[in-house]
Structure 1
């Protein structure tokens, strides 16, 4: 399980040091793709397989299913962690998430998320006031 918040920088070659606590659970390689809310999602291969199977079973006749599947898979790339604990993030993904240098790497249960630092801080601050309301709406999920 991934959890925690880590502040890192992406270098000029698009490399990011993956937090040490995440490396073992991500494995030697993992999938990085466009996420929701303008961040990147990173999945270990076993979790990616689960998502892949679910998306493959969406009805091809549904416009929203086709659009989401395209969005998710077209940005997906396999990342390998090098000996220094870094990954190379594709330029298209960096552009999508507006990551130039400072970023935040989050552990979110079965995945990691990589955010532009400013976008994360804005998202967090805007959402902070509504966390109590969000938690109240989660009652039906038995949390």
Structure 2
């Protein structure tokens, strides 16, 4: 399970330190792809298999399902950590999430997310103002 919030800088070569608490769960190989809301999603290998199964069950005759599947899988990259605990993020993923310098890595249960720090701050501030309303709406779900 991933949880917590960590701040690290991405270097000019696209390398980003993965927090030690995340590294312990990721093992040798893991996956990173486009996420929602302008961030990247990271998954352990076993969790990636579950996500892949779920996405594969979307109705391929629906345009939205095909678009989502194409965008989600076409950007996916298998990653491994270097000796310093860093991952090298490909340029298309860095561009998608607007990652240039300061990044925030957040744990979100079965995945982790990588955000541009300014984008995360803006998203987080807005979401916090709606937190109680969101909780009420989801309790009805």
TM-score by length of 1: 0.96
Q: Following superposition of structure 1 onto structure 2, how do residues 31-70 of structure 1 map, counting pairs within 5 Å?
A: 31-70=31-70
Q: How far apart are the structure 2 equivalents of 1:57 and 1:127?
A: 30
Q: How far apart are the structure 1 equivalents of 2:112 and 2:140?
A: 25
SS in 1 for 2:4: strand
Aligned CA-pair RMSD: 0.8
- The CA deviation at 1:126 is 1.3
1:94 alignment counterpart: 94
Q: Deviations over 1:113-135 (max 9, x none)?
A: 00000000000111111100001
1:74 alignment counterpart: 74
Q: Deviations over 1:38-96 (max 9, x none)?
A: 00000001000001111112111111110110110011000101111010000000000
Q: Deviations over 1:18-55 (max 9, x none)?
A: 00010011111100000000000000010000011111
2:113 alignment counterpart: 113
Matched positions, count:
141
- Which runs of no fewer than 5 residues in structure 1 stay unpaired? none
- Which runs of no fewer than 5 residues in structure 2 stay unpaired? none
Q: Deviation above 4 Å: which 4+ runs of structure 1?
A: none
Q: How far apart are the structure 1 equivalents of 2:9 and 2:103?
A: 6
2:131 alignment counterpart: 131
